[in-house]
A and B are shown apart, each in its own frame.
Chain A
Amino acid sequence: MQQYVIIGNSTAAIAAAEQIRLLDAAGKITMISDEPYHTYGRPLISYYLLGKTDAERMKYRPADFYERNRIDTVFSKRVEKIDAEKKKVVLSDGKKIAYDKLLVATGSRPFNPPMEGIESVPSKFNFMTFDDALALEKVLAPDKSVLIIGAGLIGLKCLEGIADRVREVSVVDMADRVLPSILDEYGASLVQRELEGHKTTFYLSDSVQKFSGNTAHLKSGKEIAFDILVVAVGVRPNVELVKDAGGKVGRGILTDDRQETSLKDVYAAGDCTESYDITAQTSRILALLPNAQFQGACAGTNMAGGEAHFTNAVPMNAIGFFGSHILTAGSYFGDTYVEKSGDTYKKLFYSDNKLNGFILVNKPDRAGIYTSLLRNATPLDEVDFESLKKDPALMAFSEQYRAEKLSRRV
């Protein structure tokens, strides 16, 4: 009987466990997490603060998930070490667990850069885990002002979650625009304007030079008084277990397209790993929930003796604020097609007979048709790209494609 050990309890870990159980009814599966909770949708923590979900509905899988899949859980414990030769993991309490196949799905942790005077700030938080959200929630009050360092995905989702529960929010970022990783200048300006309507002031192209208690002194000379600080400048992948065991690591853990690391029988998936982004044609960390699922399922299949390859990683993000919807994917280079109207914005990037990426602000309808062009690297001369630019529709595909997709099981 195979012994499967999974370090992690979020998307990649769950996907792997599901796939293992599908292929191997008898094997023993153990999941280890340093968090105490039933698996939850990690990006839901902002929706929790917003009141759009609760602890029960945040469960990423049904309450009987572990029981039904006969998974042993070891929660509130950290794995301190992987012994790749003896094929054991060592837990924080000294206990050892043997494995035949190991998955490292350790995710990432907040990056807290050294900032002068940060130790003098009495109330400071990160925003990555349910515990972070619960701790932050305790101090939220209508008379409090909040300073968020970082106008990226995490910082702005935190902002959405708390803006209507506090007096005001300030956001500082070194970048010249909000969501710099997924939006261009114009798209960012639409989002910024919307957020400014929710008691928010942005300090862009600026940074905190030092903190003194509840005041942030910015490089520009401005000062911001605040009660609560949220640091959301970025994340770092948790690569140390694999690195210390002698496995290959770049910025993230390196794997082959079967999700196996350079250590035999040690697999890795999710935010702790790198993926080969087919739109940018480079290996990079794609810390996105769908990507974690694709990698985790691939790892699980191979761990259980099946054969799977993950070869079409594409960055993609669905994010929104107070009812707006921003859908983006791929890489932003090449020729462009642009539509602007009111608070909507569409920008497609294409070159060499391929769609490279897109930005859709408040135009979500049928966006997946564009995403499928990216994931399938569809040659644009096989579709009516002129009509697709305006309208993502199956009409732009060949009659044969439609017959295959709409008249048969897919």
Chain B
Amino acid sequence: MKRIYVNEKWCLGCHLCEYECAFANSGLTDMVKALKGKKIHPNIRVEDHGDVHFAVNCRHCTDAVCVRSCIAGALSFDGEMVRIDQNKCVGCLTCVLVCPYGAILPDDEGHVAQKCMLCTDNFTKEPNCVRHCLNNAIVYEERD
């Protein structure tokens, strides 16, 4: 399965992926309406320290500890992708407690968890962070 991978050396730390992610998952088709004046809650987050920058989002782990730990059966494998059913999620955040990458987050109100589903769950249909990455620092491809 294609996954999102990070080329740390090429990341400029521009944080554009965060905005493109928040836009793709906003439910809106107008970027200004979706983002202007709002605090964004993207599924991808860039870490910065000095000259080092890299983006982190769900790794869709083969043996996903979040899926194994979910108390509600709200996290499951859809093929090889880790899917969250926010309708089943009760927001206990056990997944946040176990994800070794810090890639599952409470939603903006803290009521349920949110995570990357490779943009299969929004209108863009393929990872919007990758499509708009200026420097190929995040890519969407098959790797071992």
Contact = CB atoms under 8 A, between A and B. Distances in A.
A365 B97 CA distance: 9
Contacts of A42: 71
B143 A406 contact: no
A290 B73 contact: no
B28 interface: no
B8 A289 contact: no
A409 B6 CA distance: 11
Contacts of A407: 5-8, 143
A392 B52 CA distance: 16
Contacts of A371: 97-98, 100
B59 interface: yes
B139 to A, nearest CB: 9
Given A402-B54, A410-B62, A365 B96 contact: yes
Contact of B87 (A15, A41, A57, A406): A57
A117 interface: no
Contacts of B111: 323
A364 B98 CA distance: 11
Nearest to A296: B68
A296 B7 CA distance: 37
A251 interface: no
B40 to A, nearest CB: 15
Contact of A325 (B49, B62, B65, B106): B106
- Size category of the B interface is 35 or more
A237 to B, nearest CB: 19
B144 interface: yes
- Size category of the A interface is 35 or more
A403 interface: yes
Contact of A59 (B8, B65, B73): B73
A327 B3 contact: no
Contact of A409 (B62, B91, B101): B62
A323 B106 CA distance: 11
A394 B102 contact: yes
A410 B73 contact: no
A395 B47 contact: yes
Contact of B73 (A60, A318, A325, A368): A60
Nearest to A59: B73
B127 to A, nearest CB: 15
- What are the 3 closest A-B residue pairs judged by CB atoms, nearest first? A366-B102, A372-B100, A368-B99
7 contacts: A293-B68, A316-B98, A320-B93, A327-B93, A365-B102, A395-B52, A406-B54
Interface of A: 15, 41-44, 47, 52-53, 57-61, 289-290, 293-294, 297, 316-320, 323, 325, 327, 329, 364-369, 371-372, 375, 387, 392-395, 399, 402-403, 405-410
